[in-house]
Amino acid sequence: MVLDAPLAFSPRFQKYIWGGRNLERVLGRTIPDGDVAESWEISAHPAAVTPVLGGPLDGVPLSELMARHGQAVVGRRGRWATRRGVFPLLVKLLDANRSLSVQVHPDDAYARAHEGPRELGKTEMWYVLWARPGAEIVYGLEPGTTAASLREALRQGRVGETLRRVPAKAGDAFLIEAGTVHAILDGIVIAEIQQSSNTTYRVHDWDRTGPDGLPRELHLERALDVIDFEKGPQGPWVPEALPTEEGSGLGRELVSRSDKFVVERIRIPAGSAWRGTLGGETFEIWGALEGVAEVEGRGGAILLDAVGFSLLPATLGPFVVNAREDLTALRVYLPELPELPKPETDWEAA
């Protein structure tokens, strides 16, 4: 089958104790009753796989699409993912109506060794869609914090002294690399681009209890294994202007880059269009943050409105993003491959 049309997906919702109704109230999304914490928008992770919505592939889970078409979906830059049987990325919307736990994620090697051969590490990027006045995140540790001092602070109930708090407002982007201690604090809605992983090691949970009335599980020993205590102070990513066709009216900025994914912010005036071609190198994910767009390939088109996401397979060919209204969007793709290591290295097997 030729994958020559953009793909939309039915989201999968997660209910955690820190969720609320902001995905509905702020973003206008239709969500289930009760407190909803996350909407998994594009996912092949076993914890919540999203099925294709509409078109000839309607109802096909993304995991099955990967099993059938592998490299045609992810491209040459993602061939390691085809061999490993995973889709590289996961896209979520999160409503931090209450503060999330203070946590850390492992890198690929640690996840593979301790969580199973198909689990990836977790580097992620947060793009803030909405934040209450004065909102903050935990973004790393205070300089000089060591494993011993963090353990002692936790024992004495003064862990807050070790946490570095950073203001967060709409439009900010934060790259949270594996090994970085972090927490989304209350009153923030974000779009999250991350590796396809569901591994979280909780360091501290604000002394609260779960739905069963018991404290939620912490994972201090594994957290201490993976925390990067050498990482210095960080702040929001400073957007970097990228070139566009002269006179096109398009705006293009780099808002996050890592060895796992690249994220750009694209602005397209109403009535204008972004034209691209995917020839098998990488897939792209487009997410409309503001405005409405039609994303069109040779085999069909979908309507993308805020806040919605679409997967453009690596073999899509030529495509057009037509802005029906002034459009602000995220464009996500895999970075260029490094020089290939020997087959027995973890990168080749990861």
The catalytic residues are 202
189 vs 129: CA distance, rounded Å: 6
232 vs 143: CA distance, rounded Å: 7
Query: Do residues 308 and 285 touch, judged by C-beta distance below 8 A?
Result: no
- 219-222 CB contacts, 8 Å cutoff, 24+ apart: 220/151, 220/154, 222/106, 222/114
Half-sphere exposure of 184 (CA within 13 A, CB side): 32
Q: C-alpha distances in angstroms, 249 versus 243, 276, 293? A: 11, 16, 16
List the beta strands (DSSP E) in 57-114: 89-96, 102-104
Query: Do residues 91 and 105 touch, judged by C-beta distance below 8 A?
Result: no
Query: Do residues 145 and 227 touch, judged by C-beta distance below 8 A?
Result: no
What is the DSSP code string of 150-180?
HHHHHHHT-GGGGEEEEE--TT-EEEE-TT-
